[in-house]
Structures are given as structure tokens and as C-alpha cells.
């Protein structure tokens, strides 16, 4: 019984902490490596500063969501935008590709990294309309 109560209390605290985080949507569509890199650097920073970051990858930036995504390492840390995306995901960010990305690129859902799927336009539209959500586009 004590374990159940402790688990329930921990879950409630985790939910409360998540609810207090500032929701942020980062929309990235640029094919520029430096722009992609800076967007992912800022997404990671917003996350470290208390944001619940959701990343929407569109157009050429959707390629970052592909398994085995490479890219040119960027200075000063010699990391790629795809590696920065992976870092954000490991820290709890969510990511999706635009709903039209897969059908217009010929890629298949199983080519996406684990945890990344096409965005649902109805859910994404609803999230973008949230009064307290910050939306940043690159």
C-alpha cells in the first residue's frame, strides 16, 4: 500500500511539474544547416530553462527526423543539427514531421526515428492556438 501511495504521489508531482512548464513549439523548415543548428540549439536551451518543447519539422528540415540523418558538424561543438535534435528528444522534447512531408518525399513512416511521426493537423492547429504557447519558426 505504501508503494502504491508513493508511486501515486510521485506521478502527481511529475504531472504538476509538466503542467508548469512553458509550452513551446519550434517550427523548422529551413534547409540551411546553420539555421537548423541554431533552431535546435535554442530548442535545447528553452528545454533546459523550463520549456516543454515540441518540434515540428517541415520541408527539407524533415530530413532531420530520418533514421541515420547525417549533416555537416557545426562549430564550436562539432555537432550536427540531427544530433542536436536527438539531444532534445532524449531530454523530453517531442518532434513530428509535417503531415505532408512523407507523401511528398517518398519516405515511409518506418524511416523516421523512434518517437517521431507525422503531425496531425487538427492536433497541431489546436496546440498552436493555445493562449500560453510560444511559437518560434525557422
| Among 94, 23, 22, residue whose Cα is nearest residue 65 | 94
pLDDT of residue 20: 85
Q: For residues 119 and 123, what is the distance between their CA atoms, to the nearest angstrom?
A: 8
> Other CB atoms closer than 10 Å to residue 118's CB: what's the count?
18
Give pLDDT tens digits for 61-88. 999 999 999 999 999 999 999 999 999 9
120 or 15, higher pLDDT: 120
Q: What is the helix (H) or strand (E) element at residue 69, kind and residue range?
A: none
Instruction: Say whether pLDDT at 6 is over 70.
Output: no
| Among 95, 121, 100, residue whose Cα is nearest residue 36 | 95
pLDDT of residue 8: 38
Give pLDDT tens digits for 37-55. 999 999 999 999 999 999 9
pLDDT band at 19 (very low <50, low <70, confident <90, very high): low
In the chain, domain spans: 21-137
DSSP string, 87-122: HHHHTT-EEEE-TTHHHHH---GGGBPTT-EEPPHH
From the options 3.40.1010.20, 3.90.1720.10, 3.40.1260.10, 3.40.50.10330, give the CATH code of 21-137.
3.40.1260.10
Pair type for strands 51-57 and 117-118:
unpaired
Amino acid at each position: 500500500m505504501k508503494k502504491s501511495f508513493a508511486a501515486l504521489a510521485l506521478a502527481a508531482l511529475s504531472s504538476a511539474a509538466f503542467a508548469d512548464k512553458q509550452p513551446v513549439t519550434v517550427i523548422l523548415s529551413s534547409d540551411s544547416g546553420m539555421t537548423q543548428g541554431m533552431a535546435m540549439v535554442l530548442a535545447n536551451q528553452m528545454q533546459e530553462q523550463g520549456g516543454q518543447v515540441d518540434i515540428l519539422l517541415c520541408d527539407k528540415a524533415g530530413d532531420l527526423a530520418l533514421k541515420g540523418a547525417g549533416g555537416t558538424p557545426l562549430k564550436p561543438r562539432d555537432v550536427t543539427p540531427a544530433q542536436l535534435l536527438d539531444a532534445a528528444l532524449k531530454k523530453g522534447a517531442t518532434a513530428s514531421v509535417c503531415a505532408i512531408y512523407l507523401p511528398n518525399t517518398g519516405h515511409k513512416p518506418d524511416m523516421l526515428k523512434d518517437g517521431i511521426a507525422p503531425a496531425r493537423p487538427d492536433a497541431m492547429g489546436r496546440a498552436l492556438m493555445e493562449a500560453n504557447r510560444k511559437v518560434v519558426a525557422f
